[in-house]
A = this chain, B = another copy of it.
Amino acid sequence: MTPAYTQLHHTFTRLSRFDHLSAIAGWDSAAMMSPQSSQARSEAMAELDLLRHQILTDARVGEWFKDVGHENLNELERANLHEMHRTWHNTVVLPDWLVEARTLAGARCEHAWRTQRPANDWNGFADNLREVVKLARQEAQIRAEAAGTSRYDAMLDLYEPGLRAADLDRIFGDLKTWLPGLLQQVVAKQAQSTPVPLQGPFATERQRALGLQVMQLLGFNFEQGRVDVSTHPFCGGVPQDVRITTRYKDDDFLPALLGIIHETGHARYEQNRPGEWLSQPMGRARSMGVHESQSLLFEMQLARSPAFLRVLHPWVIEQFGQQPALQLDNFIALNQRVKPGHIRVDADEVSYPLHVILRYEIERALIEGEIEVDDIPTLWADKMQQYLGIDTRGDYRNGCMQDIHWTDGSFGYFPTYTLGAMYAAQLFQAARNAVPGLDDAIAAGNLQSLSGWLKENVWQHGSRFSTADLITRATGETLNPAFFRKHLEARYL
């Protein structure tokens, strides 16, 4: 009889092949697809999703998970089995009707949001969101009962396995004691001199050339990936062929450039996942938080540092010529500008965690049933005032309706952005401690030792270790917000 582990290995290999097709079709939908194809594409993707669901929920898979307990596995196989089981459990625990209802409610909510947001129509939006929240609570309840955790913990576990709301309360609680004050200090300091703004236009072709040059510097493997354009930039594709995207603005080249650097961080993680395990769950990136730590390490820790900006500066001048905004000091100031605002995705690295803490506190309470959808606007306005010092009353469009993470029921996802920022600070400091002369190498435009350290300590491990173990092995301790605080103070005060 074929061992159960072999059967599971085969099943997940098969799934990874369908994932490959799904990833490429998903990239194509965003970067290449003609509008007339969207209906047919959705149907094809849904058929593939259904197939993957059927493969995982086949009764034999459950049997194999029972039988595999008696088999002798080495450490890597055990780690793989753990990840297989997590994937399987997270899928089979939900009844089919709930998966369908959730998809439908999310699609309806998002579709209506497209016109409700410009119309600032909170009441209309709330009607749909209530249904989404109702189903998300049912999902969370089912997951929580199976895991023996709270509802929100069960959702959080989907995106950052092992992390609990209690951890977040401690970590974000720490941030809340000093970050709003630090933000006000930085704003006051930067008020003394406003940088000269960029004068466009900046030709797309030159922006693209600059982006490619920077990707090369950052070690993106062009034999194993490409960069294209999409409305919402992302990192997709498959580890053997990573597809990042960006979006070019005529009047400012920095969003595309920093966006490319961000996605290149994600891409290098993907390109360097463990080669022998790519067909298996253990070969996957560890978590959303760890993934974001790699993009933010590249974008925030590295690319917005004066040392790196000095490396970029002559390339920028070469593409766009000199202008007052591109005097070196001004160029650095533009990249380190801190300005609290309404919109999370436009936020600087000092404000960003405060947006996330606000979302976390509201979504946790929503899922735990402590508040209702109708309570969101008041809570939102209060917290924006308290954390960011901004009056957002009545402006739903740029308030709680600004993005779609809640409309599709992805509660538990927001915290990973700030976990990523904090892991990034901690990892970057660990790399500096471990690699002699790292800062000098970066200042000289040599990123190989940084890449080498990241590959050794993060990328090559896939999901072999838990996030806590991965971070501890790499940095000597579990997540410690002090590194993030030190980074912000050093850069901005």
Asked if A344 lies at the interface with its beta carbon under 8 angstroms from chain B, I say: no
In contact, B44 and A223 (Cβ under 8 angstroms): no
Q: A290 to B47, alpha carbons, bound, how many Å?
A: 31
Q: A17 to B39, alpha carbons, bound, how many Å?
A: 11
Q: Which residues of B contact A278 (CB under 8 A)?
A: 40
Q: Which residues of B contact A40 (CB under 8 A)?
A: 17, 20, 238, 240-241, 278
Nearest 10 pairs of A and B residues by beta carbon: A37-B241, A17-B47, A37-B240, A20-B44, A17-B44, A34-B241, A36-B224, A36-B240, A40-B240, A21-B21
Interface of A is mostly: helix
Please provide the chain A residues from 1 to 57 with a CB less than 8 Å away from any CB of chain B in the complex: 14, 17-18, 20-21, 24-25, 28, 32-37, 39-41, 43-44, 47-48, 51
Taking a contact as CB atoms closer than 8 A, the residue among B34, B39, B51 that contacts A224 in the complex is B34
Q: A51 to B21, alpha carbons, bound, how many Å?
A: 13
Asked if A225 lies at the interface with its beta carbon under 8 angstroms from chain B, I say: yes
Q: Which residues of B contact A44 (CB under 8 A)?
A: 17-18, 20-21
Given the contacts A40-B278, A238-B40, A278-B40, A48 and B34 also touching, CB distance less than 8 Å: no
Please provide the chain A residues from 316 to 340 with a CB less than 8 Å away from any CB of chain B in the complex: none
Taking a contact as CB atoms closer than 8 A, the residue among B20, B28, B35, B221 that contacts A24 in the complex is B28
In contact, A36 and B223 (Cβ under 8 angstroms): yes
Taking a contact as CB atoms closer than 8 A, the residue among B21, B35, B39, B223 that contacts A25 in the complex is B21
Asked if A226 lies at the interface with its beta carbon under 8 angstroms from chain B, I say: yes
Q: Which residues of B contact A222 (CB under 8 A)?
A: 34
Chain A interface residues (CB < 8 Å from chain B) = 14, 17-18, 20-21, 24-25, 28, 32-37, 39-41, 43-44, 47-48, 51, 221-226, 238, 240-241, 278
A271 to chain B, nearest CB (A): 9
Q: A60 to B32, alpha carbons, bound, how many Å?
A: 38
Q: Which residues of B contact A33 (CB under 8 A)?
A: 241
Q: Which residues of B contact A41 (CB under 8 A)?
A: 20, 241
In contact, B14 and A223 (Cβ under 8 angstroms): no
Given the contacts A18-B44, A18-B47, A44-B21, A223 and B35 also touching, CB distance less than 8 Å: yes
A40: nearest chain-B partner, CB-CB: B240
Q: Which residues of B contact A35 (CB under 8 A)?
A: 223
Q: Which residues of B contact A21 (CB under 8 A)?
A: 21, 25, 44, 48
In contact, A17 and B36 (Cβ under 8 angstroms): no
A222: nearest chain-B partner, CB-CB: B34
Q: A266 to B373, alpha carbons, bound, how many Å?
A: 53
In contact, A241 and B36 (Cβ under 8 angstroms): yes
Q: A14 to B50, alpha carbons, bound, how many Å?
A: 11
Q: A221 to B36, alpha carbons, bound, how many Å?
A: 10
A37: nearest chain-B partner, CB-CB: B241
The CB with the most chain B CB atoms within 10 A, among A24, A221, A223, is that of A24
Q: A107 to B31, alpha carbons, bound, how many Å?
A: 32
Q: Which residues of B contact A14 (CB under 8 A)?
A: 47
Q: A36 to B20, alpha carbons, bound, how many Å?
A: 14
A22 to chain B, nearest CB (A): 8
Q: Which residues of B contact A238 (CB under 8 A)?
A: 37, 40
Given the contacts A17-B43, A41-B20, A32 and B224 also touching, CB distance less than 8 Å: no
Q: A32 to B222, alpha carbons, bound, how many Å?
A: 12
Q: A39 to B24, alpha carbons, bound, how many Å?
A: 15
Q: A298 to B32, alpha carbons, bound, how many Å?
A: 26
Q: Which residues of B contact A17 (CB under 8 A)?
A: 40, 43-44, 47-48
